[in-house]
Structure 1
Amino acid sequence: MSTTSQVITCKAAICWGLGQPVTVEEIQVDPPKATEVRVKVLCASICHTDLTSLQGFPHMCFPLALGHEGVGVVESVGDEVTTLKEGDVVIPTYIGECETCENCVSGKTNLCLTHPVRLNGLLPDNTSRMSIRGQRLYHVLSCATWSEYFVSDVNYTVKVDSAIDPAHASFISCGFSTGFGAAWKEAKVESGSSVAVLGLGAVGLGAISGAKSMGASKIIGIDKNEKKREKGEAFGMTQFINPGDSAKSVSELVKEVTGGMGVDYSFECTGIPPLLSQSLEATKMGTGKTVVVGIPAEPTVSLGMLSLLLGRTMKGSAFGGLKVRSDIAIVANKCLKKEFPLDELSTHVVPLEDISKGFEILKDPNCVKVVIKISH
């Protein structure tokens, strides 16, 4: 029997306010409206953005249904949905692509003006399909994946091949794809160039993989966790710098291994404010380019202006510059062909009921990504 018109009661990870613990509780998920789909979640994963959402970024709206990385099966569709059907395997995205607005046709950006990033925790009609004890629930961006079911607007939902590994699909719904796209689409790394990647989490490893695929000859991974050396090498890193081993700055260490010149491209994947200037200073004077993908813990940061005035470029990036209609399909196809060693990312698995344990696991030096198994 179709459940399209029925409210579903299920479990989800909820935070009631700043400083409050994350709890798994029963919630209600309404049927999808005309341009929406309701998705039964297979698995999800923890991203750094989920942690910042508990601190009030990108909004201060609570109670909050958590999670934005994940993969699931379409359970029901709205009356006007023609591109997806029940049973399709999909991943959520936090940007859309109308293919007709000024930004989409420009070829200069992946940030659609018709379907922009949702920063208020609600669906495009400024309502929510999720509630708890009669109270509206907000989500981090376009949906909430740490839930057995969620509803998303179809423009923020992308179909993937059902043969894809669920954990891999979850990784490419945000973190890994963001790094990969930053090297591929934002920086457009040139063959034979040099690259520095600051922070070797899933995003940083994605940037290494993207730089490798573009033909970079020197790919320097930078992380204070010595255990990330092996991970970086698995994705294509050629050199590793542990800044904890030296009193010198990151930029000085990078210049030491590049003949004093710095790299052609750097990718700041940590969100640590002082490293913004360091990532810029680590690039070549006059031509160096820095792509910022790490979410800062502070709303404003200081920046070494001299580095900019000496001809370097710094660019912010959302979702690594990837367009969801065309580019995600390419990344997903590479996953299916095992072109990325994504099993290296999946270091820990927890059931939804133990989500709080997942936060503790993140402190483990061996942890890269925590996969959340969603039970039904």
Structure 2
Amino acid sequence: MDESITLTSTTHANGTTSEAITCKAAVAYGPGEPLVIEEITVDPPKEMEVRIKILFTSVCHSDLGTWLGTNEAQRAYPRILGHEASGIVESVGKGVRDVKAGDYVIPIFHGECGECIFCRSESTNMCEKFGINPMKRVMESDGKCRFWRSEDHKPIFHYLNTSTFTQYTVLHSACVVKIDPHLIPLKNMPLLSCCITTGVGAAWNTANVKPGSTVAVFGLGSVGFAVVEGARARGAAKIIGVDINPDKLTKGLMFGITNFINPKILDMPVHEVTN
């Protein structure tokens, strides 16, 4: 066990006993302020919750925007950011059936309760309880935090149902998906939490790409490449990658683009290019 992680016996009001975990986390204390690596206490999971040991996590632009406090309405400090990660289930709360201790999982910031009117609809999956909500800062079940500063036991807010910039986190089971750790390296799995699902979902669900169609993808970053992959899987006949970085051509061909446009070397607007 990592020396920075300890277990502390905690007795709850209902008389049951479980363990709180003391570990390290990167905590945001203000807009643009450096994250502080400090000791925190992570509560045991409550009913329908899961506590996860984070193995790998990455930084998304959404994390950057929240850290910078771009939207003042979304500011909440101190806070543990992060929503792209892979990890292993350390413990589960009462009622959890889909995962168990030892399962490898990825956290999902856009969870699905499976019961609300939106989850039951064929037109949307924007869950009423666990949909994308950057302003949400506490757990759904009781409106409280599961993170505490060790030195004074003051609460630390959650982020996007996930909070992965920590060695341990607590999520609702609706925001956890079990994965096969042998499918791809665990260090690459965080891309499934946001980047790949965002890009592929844009091609499959939002654009609803049809077989034989022509698709233009502006910006060949990680999300853009996921859009390309989604369009290819949907049977698009022509996939045009648009990027000012000429090096993206080689990678783009690997993902499935058929044409490449670099706006920097054009003498006409992109939409006027015909080949």
> Which residue type is aligned with residue 12 of structure 1?
A
Kindly tell me: are residues 123 and 227 of structure 1, through their superposed partners in 2, closer, same or farther at Cα, counting changes over 3 Å? farther
Q: 1:76 is aligned with what amino acid?
A: S
The answer to whether 1:39 aligns with 2:55 is no
- 1:163-312 to 2 correspondence within 5 Å? 163-164=182-183, 165-246=185-266, 248=268, 252-257=269-274
CA distance in 1, matches of 2:143, 2:249: 44
How far apart, CA to CA, are the structure 2 residues paired with 1:111 and 1:167?
Answer: 28
- 1:279-298 CA-partner distances (Å, limit 9, x unpaired): xxxxxxxxxxxxxxxxxxxx
The one-letter code of the counterpart of 1:227 is D
1:106 aligns with 2:121: yes
Which of the numbers 130, 149, 153 marks the counterpart of 2:147?
Answer: 130
Distance, in Å, in 1 between the alignment partners of 2:242 and 2:147 is 40
* Moved beyond 6 Å, runs of 4+: 1-4
- TM-score, length-normalised on structure 2? 0.86
Deviations 1:319-354 (A, max 9, x none): xxxxxxxxxxxxxxxxxxxxxxxxxxxxxxxxxxxx
Decide which structure has greater helix share: 1
Moved more, 159-168 or 176-185: 159-168
Give RMSD over aligned pairs: 2.1
TM-superposed CA distance for 1:242, in Å, is 1.9
% identity of equivalent residues: 42
Deviations 1:83-116 (A, max 9, x none): 2110111111112223333222221112122433
Whether the aligned pair in 2 keeps the contact of 1:130 and 1:137 (CA below 8 Å) is: yes
Q: 1:233 to 1:102 in 2, by over 3 A?
A: same
Q: CA deviation at 1:167?
A: 2.4
Where 1:226 maps in the other structure, the secondary structure is coil
Match of 1:300 in 2: none
Does residue 70 (structure 1) correspond to residue 49 (structure 2)? The answer is no
List alignment gaps of at least 5 residues for structure 2: 1-6, 10-16
Aligned length: 255
- Kindly state the Cα deviation for residue 2 of structure 1 after the two structures are TM-superposed: 11
1:115 aligns with 2:134: no
Aligned to 1:52: 65
